[in-house]
Structure 1
Amino acid sequence: MKARYKTIVDELAASIRCGDLPAGTRLPTHRALSGEKHVSLATATRVYAELESMGLVSGETGRGTFVREISLPTGLGIDQHIVASDVLDLNFNYPALPEQTDLLRDALRQLTTSGDLTALLRYQPHAGRLNDRETIASHLAHTGITASADDVLIVNGAQHGLAITVMGLFKPGDVIAVDALTYSGFKTLAAAFNLELEAIPVSEMGPDLNALRALCQRRRVRAVYTMPTLHNPLGWVLNSDQRKEIAAIAREHDLLLIEDAAYAFLASNPPPPLAFFAPERTIYVTGFSKNIATGLRVGAVVCPAPYRTLLERAIRVTTWNTPSLMTSLVCGWIRDGTVNRLESLKREDAQRRQNIAREVLKPLPYISHPASYFLWLPLAEEVRAESVVRSLLEKNISTSTAEPFTTSQNVPHAIRIALGSVSEDLLYQALNTVRETIEYEQYRS
């Protein structure tokens, strides 16, 4: 059973995070909290000490205890990116291979001696040039996507693909069903465009589809945002039956499906994508940031014909046309097999990093896919995620709490660790520090 003081800590932390207790609020005195919650004075003191260690409150001698100006200091979430050279980044993934720099140099040299460079300097069609869309459609065919060039819209990365989908197809107040733990970038988009997110409970194996059915019966849901192939942050790969059921629910309730495939290349031989099971209502979004390089902001949206004009209009509004030079590079690498080779090498790289994590973190339970660039580390009940992340940041290791990924009211105490942005030697050292820090926090509690 959860200790009484932990329940009080979680209640106050939730009120601070959601804004019910805004920054600057003076909290009850220790004695007043003791009386209000029917606990001892020592327990009330421990509650405030815990909240202070989480970075949510600060005690001022002679004045009292106040809610901090921000609930998460810089670096404890994913919205702020630590870029200092002495910080080991286990927060964001930007996996790179040593040969990529030479590949880029060679590709740029080749561009200068072949092709129509002048054409790359002009405005392009909003959805991209036809031959580039044909190349990307051909590349996606091996994933189970049956699409013509007309179905493909080229965008400035997968995040831009999600943005034009939200901008082009939804109105403020629309309800989107999402996993209770989901990609933080989609949460940010929903907030920016005033969409309402309804959380679907999750397990290690996938979303609770009975809960999704019940939600659709209870509310007018417009769409489901999902990552069926290598979910971020939980790493699941849904089986064919789960995908078929999602497609059936979508048809029954006339839902759009937004399929985010940013990390799908890491899964070997997954089932066909949702777009295969429900092509008439699936917006399939992918990119070339993770499988090639994060600096190449090229992505693709595959959409049914009825939505194409709306999405092209959103591309025009946000960026007018695709990045022609970068797209030309990517399509050249698709045609000569470089993309397939990089994807294979990165799957091997991710597997090695997961092996390191398994070796170093084996005393701790965590959730991951054997070839993903991240893992989800639930913490013991007595350990607060903010305290762990703050302590790691003091040791120059950047990680993220669960808060940026959480769409339900209850934020789990867990941390998400990115494995793809430091060398393997540094990853080994950093994960050792993560384990030692968590073990110390367990001992301290």
Structure 2
Amino acid sequence: MTNWMPDPALLRRPAYFSLAEQFARAIESGVLPTGARLMPHRKLADGLGLSVQTVSRAYEELIRRGLIVGEIGRGSFVLGLGAEARQPYLPERPGQVVDLSILKPVVEDMHLLRIREGFAWLAENMAASSALSFRPNMVMPYHRQVAVNWLAGQGIETNPVNISITNGATPAITAALMSVAPMGAGIAVEALTHHSIMPLCSYLGLHLEGVAIDAEGMRPDALDAVARHGAIRSIYLQPNVINPLAAQMGQDRRNELVEVARRYDLMIIENDILNVMIADRPPAFATLAPERVLHICGFTKITLPGLRLAYLTAPARLATTVANRHLVSNWMATPPMVDLLSHWITDGTVAQLAAWQRTALGQRHAVASQVFGKAMPPCHPHSLHLWLPLTNNWAEDGFVAKARQQGVAIASGGSFRATEKGRYEAVRISLGSAGEEELRRGLEIVATILADEPEVLMTPI
């Protein structure tokens, strides 16, 4: 990561544009060379005495100009003058890199066959309204009832009118955030959280408050300390294994967090996208505090990547608000895909695929345990990833770069930090995004690097 720092004395209003101009001049002069990794938003903001939102807007301006690119899980990098802007994620390059950076379920030929069979079923059975109607209320009533039945099997009691069906977890998170906090309000998140929450809150004008965590997730005492100042309106949680630590939050911890939320009248957004795939999960927050929980039940990570759908369940008093926010941001989920999801739920396919995924991930964890041995980090046995603390004085950027040089892509821990407090160096490694042999090879490379000391560049005398 570059140590270059803009000069705060040269900042003028609007600050984001002035900041972007300093970066642009540094890139033009070669001070920031092509490929240089820029400071994370929060670190730069703290160093300059600016808000994270201001830094985010400056980086967005640089992305718009084609001078930098943001890669999910890795950071922001200089493209150089005249470079064409790229998509903000690592492209798929089979045979060139073992990509353990993106979180995906395990897939095999069977999954492609299943979805082809699903599309064949759609060709014969798709409802006319799914193809011909623009109105969600003409398309979704049946599917909302299917959702009610599915959620009831997980102990979540609700009504069809309280459910919005979305094109995956990201639109659900967006609609939920828009529903629980006005612009300028605060959202409490775990110190290690979903990588898209930071930029999303910035785009929505929300203040993010990183709360201290332990092995189970957010600490109730730390949340109480933040809430006592009245700066937050809602809490965003990932209690079921999908969090960066790949940890399961216990029943007692959930009860304690609910108690704090009720004490300060805070809403809770519960990202539960692994739901039925985690067989030993405690009752959802939506079961413990239905009056204040917006629950997100996903399907992409437990079935296959193409089934990009989720259920967003809201308390009755917020159901209309959530529906309206979803309408203006996404209108409605893709109707034919919702037809397929309801069919797969009712005929048992979703449950079967989730069970298959659970078994496949168990096998992937066995491979990781063989490779890492005593260095295997603690995690749930059916998590999609590992959170690997770095040893031997490794820094995240150097470790990620070293792995990339040897043909393995992994995600830097910095992409998941909502606060620098309690920071330690770590990387996230996906277990589902590569074939099993490719995964073993990638993990062996990572384990070898981990056991090695970072080499200091020698300077000629």
Over the residues paired in the alignment, what is the CA RMSD in angstroms?
A: 2.9
Q: CA deviation at 1:136?
A: 1.4
Contact 1:166 1:189 in 2 (8 A): no
User: What is the one-letter code of the residue matched to 2:445?
Assistant: T
CA contact (8 A) 1:55 1:72 kept: no
Change (3 A) 1:318 1:228: same
Flag structure 1 segments of 5+ consecutive residues without an equivalent.
1-8, 27-52, 58-68
- How big is the shift at 1:315? 1.8
**Distance in 1 (alpha carbons) for counterparts of 2:424 and 2:285:** 28
Residue 120 of structure 1: CA displacement? 2.9
Q: Map Cα deviations across residues 9-39 of structure 1 (whole Å, 9 max, x no partner).
A: 9xx96978x999974899xxxxxxxxxxxxx
The offset of 1:168, in angstroms, is 3.0
What SS does the corresponding residue of 1:432 show, helix, strand or coil? helix
Q: Which residue of 2 aligns with 1:37?
A: none
Q: Distance in 2 between matches of 1:235 and 1:302?
A: 24
Q: Aligned AA for 1:155?
A: T
Structure 2 Cα separation of the partners of residues 380 and 349 of structure 1: 29
Aligned partners of 2:320 and 2:308: how far apart in 1?
A: 22
How far apart are 1:135 and its partner, in Å? Answer: 0.7
Correspondence 1:296 to 2:307: yes
| Residue 219 of structure 2 is aligned to residue 208 of structure 1 | yes
Tell me, what secondary structure is at the counterpart of 2:325?
A: helix
Kindly tell me: are residues 274 and 106 of structure 1, through their superposed partners in 2, closer, same or farther at Cα, counting changes over 3 Å? same
Once the two structures are superposed, residues 262-301 of structure 1 have per-residue CA deviations (whole angstroms, 9 ceiling, x without a partner) of: 1233322211000111100000012211112222221110
Moved more, 260-269 or 316-325: 260-269
Match runs of 1:29-428 below 5 Å: 77=74, 79-85=88-94, 86-95=96-105, 96-117=107-128, 119-125=130-136, 129-380=140-391, 382-410=393-421, 411-428=423-440
Contact 2:271–2:297 (8 Å) recurs in 1: yes
Task: In structure 2, give the amino acid aligned to 1:430.
Answer: G
Contact kept? 1:126, 1:321, Cα under 8 Å: no
- Does the CA-based 8 Å contact 2:386-2:428 persist in structure 1? yes
Instruction: Indicate how the Cα distance of structure 1 residues 433 and 171 shifts in structure 2: closer, same or farther if over 3 A, else same.
Output: same
User: What is the alpha-carbon distance in structure 2 between the residues aligned to residue 81 and residue 98 of structure 1?
Assistant: 23
Preserved contact between residue 371 and residue 444 of structure 2 (Cα < 8 Å): yes
User: 1:287, 1:128 → 2: CA distance?
Assistant: 20
Amino acid at match of 1:80: Y
CA-CA distance at 1:80 after TM superposition = 2.4
- Distance in 1 between the 2:426 and 2:145 partners? 42
Q: Is 1:435 equivalent to 2:444 in the alignment?
A: no
Per-residue CA deviations over 1:21-79 (Å, capped at 9, x if unaligned) read 974899xxxxxxxxxxxxxxxxxxxxxxxxxx99569xxxxxxxxxxx99998576175
For 1:231 and 1:329, locate their aligned partners in 2 and report how far apart those are by CA, in whole Å.
25
Is the Cα contact below 8 Å between 1:261 and 1:284 reproduced in 2? yes
In the alignment, the residues of structure 2 paired with residue 381 and residue 196 of structure 1 have an alpha-carbon distance, to the nearest angstrom, of 35
SS at match of 1:380: coil
**Any idea what SS the aligned residue of 1:435 has?**
helix
Q: Is the 8 A contact 2:73 2:415 kept in 1?
A: no
Identity of aligned residues (%): 25
**What is the TM-score with the length of structure 2 in the denominator?**
0.79
1:34 — aligned with what?
none
- The CA distance in 1 between the partners of 2:453 and 2:257, in whole Å, is 40
Deviations 1:375-411 (A, max 9, x none): 1011126111101111111222111111110000355
Determine the C-alpha separation between the residues in 1 that align with 2:404 and 2:299: 30
Instruction: State how far apart, in whole Å, the 1-side matches of 2:179 and 2:444 are.
Output: 45
Q: Distance in 1 between matches of 2:70 and 2:271?
A: 29
Partner of 1:101, secondary structure, is helix
Aligned to 2:154, the other structure's residue is in SS state coil
Q: Which runs of 5+ in 2 are unaligned?
A: 9-15, 27-34, 40-61, 76-87
Deviates more, 1:155-164 or 1:312-321: 312-321
Q: Report the Cα distance in structure 2 between the residues aligned to 1:24 and 1:110, rounded to whole angstroms.
A: 53
What SS does the aligned partner of 1:232 have? coil
Following the alignment from structure 1 to structure 2, what is the Cα–Cα distance between the partners of residues 340 and 295?
A: 16
Contact 1:55-1:73 within 8 A present in 2 as well: no
Please give the alpha-carbon distance, in whole angstroms, between the structure 2 residues aligned to 1:341 and 1:120: 28
Distance 1:302 1:334 in 2: 17
What residue identity is the alignment partner of 1:302?
Answer: T
CA distance in 2, matches of 1:104, 1:304: 33
Alignment correspondent of 1:48 = none
1:367 is paired with a residue of what secondary structure?
A: coil
> Shift in Å at residue 305 of structure 1?
1.2
Q: Secondary structure at the match of 2:145?
A: helix
Q: What displacement does 1:94 show?
A: 2.2
Cα 1:72–1:112 shift into 2, 3 Å: closer
* Kept after mapping to 2: 8 A contact 1:76/1:386: no
| Distance verdict in 2 for CA 1:360–1:118, change over 3 Å | same
